[in-house]
Amino acid sequence: MQLSVIIVNYNVKYFLEQCLLSVQKAMQGMEAEVWVIDNASTDGSKAYLEPRFPAVKFCWNTENIGFGRACNQGLAQSTGKYILFLNPDTIVPEDCFTACINFFNQTPGAGAVGIRMLDGSGRFLPESKRSFPSPLVSFYKLSGLSFLFPASKTFGRYHLSYLNEHQNHTVDVLAGAFMMIKKEVLDKTGGFDESFFMYGEDVDLSYRIQQTGCKNYYFSERSILHFKGESTKKTSVNYVRMFYDAMSRFVKKHYSSSSAGLFATFINAAIWARAFLSLLKRFVQRVGLPLLDALFIFFGYLLAKLMWTGYIRPEVVYQTKLLWLSFIVFSLLFLLVSYYTGLYEQRFRYKNLWQSSLVSIVIILAVYSLLPEESRYSRGLVLLGAFVSYLLLYIWRRILLQADILEKAIDEDEYFSLVAGTETDLQKVNNLLQLHGRHNSIQGFVSPDNEPKALGRIDELQQLLQSTPANELILCESSSLSFAQIIQLYQQSGKKVKLRLHAQDSESIIGSDSKNEAGEVLHQEKLNLNEEVNLRLKRLIDVCTSLFFLLSFPLHFLFNRHAAGLLQQSAAVFTGRKTWIGFSAKRKHLPAISPSVLGPAGQPHHLSQLKEEGLLLADEWYAREYEPLYDLKTIFANYQKLGNK
């Protein structure tokens, strides 16, 4: 056997699907095997992948045993002369494996080879080549000196940023996303150190490879895509803790005790600093922006009051306390309405701003009409305050967008998508987009074969991107457009467009716009519960029904056998710690919702007789077919089961 490819999967079945399609193309003409070690994925990977890839050898673990241990599990069964450890969220060109093996044959002393990696936007990933994380090198990175002076041989050592990314180099550390190693070298070093659960195991193995007298090489003559499809966010405190704990373990294992102590100091400083920044960012996103909006609204009404009493109706005197109370209530009401109209979604839409303002003013005027005469004041002041507040919020959002603090959402009618592929690819991609509510986003396609209906040829793609308002490019692998060509196009997009990939035999479109966030997928299994509007309505139903149960609590002793339990559950649902209807277990491939009181069929989880396969199917059905009214009906239809714990 010439080559064994080992891939560890954990809840990224669509990325793995396209990865395997590229791997199979790259193995053609070779004697090779593929091992996929699944670390107890809960996204239905087994049912989805096994029938599609009969030649792949799957191993389905019943628990998540960690990356290094899973790799060793595949290594123990591999028979190849070369072993490739490959991430599931990668795409390799067709000649990648043969080029790497040829490099081994032409380079005496080479024990392992890494490769040039690009992210989902076509940018070079600096972790493609690294040095060992000594305390001093880590200090340069943590202090920002490596970022300020990337060309410095002193400060740029962490990512070896002073080395040309387009040239081959001997390096210290190869990324675990792509490590091709001679089997004879692994026989000397052993596999990954299993004490590293996640992160750092590639650093440790790279170090031990060098200890055998072999060299690690960064191979620049081929590039792969690394989408970062995993669910761990690099901006999270948990990632920082896991990453630097792994680095600490490496230093303790291979460096002196004094170096390890110094490194531990840096680690603790890094974790605390990143924790502070993460909490600050979370505060700004979840609390800071609504709080600032409330202040702008309050200031808008205050400004409107000064304009009204100073220039429009100076003869009228209003009660100051009443005005202040009204302005505060208006601000809070706007925030409540804004939450349900989607103003605080991850990406901003102008329509959500004016919808929030319009609905708020309608509610305010309705409430105003019900107030006693002595508590009212001019409707004109109310309307002027709403207008001034809207204007201030509009200007504020424009500033945030210009400063890249907010990202503007692309609505269906704003998409200008180009497809690179055949007319057949165009139809398949269009059907998939329509399934996700995008009915008219594709503006045309660029053909590798110069088809008559195409906007142009592949070699004219750059010109089309520059001369059209295109904001999305979907690249379709087929017999006419290879993975190698697609990777090249990723590097040459030449414009800030969202890049997406669709392999010929896949059922999905994948992409990743940030190396720090999990990737994005459009697939045939559309989930209604993924839509933010449905998640908000689900929460609204939870709040209203739990509040109703709490306010009517004494009556439940007459009608519900578990009244005390119902009170506890209502409080938990009202505060967001639970939801009435939801999944039987936390499933990373399904929308993130709170733990539930009842399952999708209205049965308390501890009373369910379904096996895990049945529970998974029920959870997936609920997410796929979700309708807000279903929750409402299920809650009251199973009223007697509420409170049963």
Reported confidence tier of residue 383, pLDDT bands at 50, 70, 90:
confident
**Which tokens is 301 given?**
């009404």
251-279: average pLDDT: 62
Q: How confident is the model at residue 442 (pLDDT cuts 50, 70, 90)?
A: confident
Q: Which helix (H) or strand (E) holds 321?
A: helix 320-341
Asked if pLDDT for residue 579 goes beyond 50, the answer is: yes
pLDDT of residue 55: 95
pLDDT of residue 281: 64
pLDDT of residue 112: 95
Q: Residue 352 pLDDT > 60, yes or no?
A: yes
| Residue 45 burial (C-beta neighbours within 10 Å; 0-12, 13-18, 19+) | buried
Q: Which one has a higher pLDDT value, 98 or 228?
A: 98
pLDDT confidence band for 232 (50 / 70 / 90):
very low
Write the CB contacts of 496 (distance below 8 Å, at least 6 apart in sequence). none
- On the question of pLDDT at 230 being above 60, the answer is no
Whether the per-residue pLDDT at 235 is higher than 50: the answer is no
Cβ-proximal residues to 133 (8 Å cutoff; 6+ apart), any chain: 158, 203, 247, 250, 251, 263
Please give the residue that has the higher pLDDT: either 199 or 449. Answer: 449
Q: What is the value of pTM for the model shown?
A: 0.74
Q: Residue 185: which pLDDT band, with cuts at 50, 70 and 90?
A: very high
What confidence score (pLDDT) does residue 142 get?
63
Dihedral pair phi/psi, residue 101, rounded to 5°: -65, -40
96-105, 343-352, 591-600, 610-619: which is most confident? 96-105
Considering only residues 328 and 244, tell me which one the structure prediction assigns the higher pLDDT: 328
Q: Strand, helix or coil at 360?
A: helix
- Is 340 or 164 the better-scoring residue by pLDDT? 164
Residue 474's closest CA among 449, 446, 448? 446
Average pLDDT for residues 514-518, to the nearest whole number?
60
Structure tokens at 415: 């998409």
pLDDT digits (tens, 9 = 90+) for 271-314: 566 666 666 666 766 677 888 888 888 888 889 888 888 888 78
More confident residue, 464 or 82: 82
Q: What is the pLDDT of residue 568?
A: 93
pLDDT of amino acid 83: 97
What pLDDT is recorded for position 282? 64
Distance separating alpha carbons of residues 437 and 149, to the nearest angstrom: 46
Q: pLDDT, tens digit, for every residue of 591-639?
A: 889 999 999 988 898 888 788 888 888 998 999 889 999 999 999 999 9
pLDDT at 110: 94
Say how many CA atoms lie within 13 Å of 183 toward its Cβ: 16
pLDDT at 184 over 60: yes
Higher pLDDT among residues 451 and 271, named by residue: 451
Average per-residue pLDDT for the chain = 84
Q: Dihedral (C-alpha) 359, 361, 363, 366: value to the nearest 10 degrees? A: -140
Share of the chain above pLDDT 70, in %: 85
Q: State the pLDDT at residue 238.
A: 55
**Hey, what are 200's tokens?**
């750092």
- Stretch 68-90: mean pLDDT: 94
Supply the pLDDT for residue 252: 64
The per-type count for the chain, helices as H runs and strands as E runs, is 22, 20
Judge whether 6 and 78 are in contact, CB under 8 Å: yes
Q: What pLDDT score does 60 carry?
A: 96
Over the stretch 123-175, which tens digit does the pLDDT of each residue have?
Answer: 999 989 988 776 667 666 666 677 777 777 777 777 788 889 999 999 989 98
Spatial separation of the C-alpha atoms in residues 452 and 459, rounded to whole Å: 16
Please say if the pLDDT value at position 204 is more than 90.
Answer: no
The secondary structure of 373-422, three-state, reads HHHCCCHHHHHHHHHHHHHHHHHHHHHHHHCCCCEECCCHHHCCEEEECC
Between CA 497 and CA 221 the distance in angstroms is: 26
